[in-house]
Amino acid sequence: MSGPPGGFTVMTTGELLREGTDRLAAAGSETPRLDAELLLGQAVGAGRTAVVAHPEAPVGADAARRYRADLERRAAGEPVAYLRGIKEFYGLAFEVDARALIPRPETERLVDLAGDEVLRRLASSARPPGSRDLQVVDVGTGSGAIAVALAVRLRRVKAVDAVRILAVDISPDALGLARENAVGHAVADRISFAEADLLPPDAGGFDVVLANLPYVRHDAMADLPVAASFEPTLALDGGANGLEVIGRLLDLLPDAMADGGVAMFEIGADQGDAIVALVDAKLPGWSCAVELDLAGLPRVARITRIARPPVAGSA
């Protein structure tokens, strides 16, 4: 701490980080130091690395005031991502705010699997030159995380022009944010947006159906970390058994999916058996395989229609 001529006290980044870490630890944050670094980096406009690297740097009064105001909001439970307005997902910076769920790292698994699936289909010998664009839908797009990250991955390997992505959400607010992220990542020309309950009535012929729909059991909502209470309930509450919204989408798959299509849904780590049973009950003759994440936990359900054997004597 030092007192410049004129009277007010100038604090250094190191001092403000200690103050913030103590404040957030007392408030129960699980990552108080990291939170403080991110918030101070935001307040001084220099990023986290710079404030960590220069603990002796003086911080101006306005930046210190902004930092302390954010610390108080964080101490009250507001997620750091909303305070910063940004969240890193799939190596990309997504704009985030209370209009939509903050994208979670576990959802990157779905983007990986979706990208592999799309590229495999585009490379397939069953796909002659001049074929129609591959049709992909992201149901419950939220911030647009899945649709945008997938489009960016496909663009990097020059495959995006052969793919059309429809991003759907029931929330117009979320769709507004998703559009902003698509524009921000320069993929808005390959993604269209629709406000609908699961799927627009006339939508169909999808080769790949992706969804990270709400899957938290209604009675477990109260046990979520306080940060989740700042996110839209519509993005999290999966009804009595957690699989109500996903179950309604399963009902639509026979009409929505192209022949040979695949659906990939993110599920909760304890829902592997439940989703297999639900697919068996709702879609007899279809298959449901559960993909694990790096920790070995069920994370993505891969659902396909098993091709019926040709009827004897038919052409």
Ligand X SMILES: C[S@@+](CC[C@H](N)C(=O)[O-])C[C@H]1O[C@@H](n2cnc3c(N)ncnc32)[C@H](O)[C@@H]1O
- Report the amino acid identity of residue 110: L
CA angle 210, 216, 221 (to 5 degrees): 145
Q: Total residues contacting ligand X (rule CB under 6 A)? A: 24
x/- site string to ligand X, residues 278 to 297, per CB under 6 A?
--------------------
12: left (phi over 0), alpha (psi -120 to 50) or beta: beta
Query: According to CB under 6 A, which one of 145, 151, 152, 300 is a site residue for ligand X?
Result: 145
Pick 44 or 110: Cβ nearer ligand X = 110
Query: According to CB under 6 A, which one of 13, 143, 181, 304 is a site residue for ligand X?
Result: 143
* Whole-number Å distance between alpha carbons of 113 and 151: 13
169 is a site residue for ligand X (CB under 6 A): yes
11-12 and 58-59 strand pairing? antiparallel
86-89 and 92-95 strand pairing? antiparallel
Which residues face 288 on adjacent strands? 303
Burial class (CB in 10 A: 0-12, 13-18, 19+), 128: exposed
**Which span sits near ligand X by CB under 6 A: 39-47, 57-65, 169-177, 181-189?**
169-177
* Whole-number Å distance between alpha carbons of 82 and 86: 7
> Measured from the CB of residue 168, what is the shortest distance to ligand X in angstroms?
6
Strand segments (E) across the chain: 11-12, 58-59, 86-89, 92-95, 134-139, 163-169, 191-195, 206-211, 257-266, 286-292, 298-305
Query: According to CB under 6 A, which one of 141, 181, 271, 304 is a site residue for ligand X?
Result: 141
> Measured from the CB of residue 54, what is the shortest distance to ligand X in angstroms?
34
Pick 36 or 216: Cβ nearer ligand X = 216
* Whole-number Å distance between alpha carbons of 178 and 180: 5
Query: According to CB under 6 A, which one of 24, 149, 228, 245 is a site residue for ligand X?
Result: 245
x/- site string to ligand X, residues 19 to 48, per CB under 6 A?
------------------------------
Of 185, 186, 140, nearest to 166 by C-alpha is: 140
Pick 75 or 146: Cβ nearer ligand X = 146
b or e along 134-172 (b: 16 or more beta carbons within 10 Å of the residue's beta carbon)? Answer: bbbbbbbbbbbbbbbbbbbbbbeeebbebbbbbbbbebe
x/- site string to ligand X, residues 87 to 106, per CB under 6 A?
-------------xx-x---
Pick 200 or 260: Cβ nearer ligand X = 200
**Interface positions, 184-243, toward ligand X (CB under 6 A):** 197-198, 212-214, 234-235
**Which span sits near ligand X by CB under 6 A: 5-13, 50-58, 165-173, 299-307?**
165-173
146 is a site residue for ligand X (CB under 6 A): yes
Query: According to CB under 6 A, which one of 170, 183, 194, 258 is a site residue for ligand X?
Result: 170
Of 185, 13, 171, nearest to 86 by C-alpha is: 185
- The footprint of ligand X (CB under 6 A) covers 100-101, 103, 107, 139-143, 145-146, 168-171, 174, 197-198, 212-214, 234-235, 245
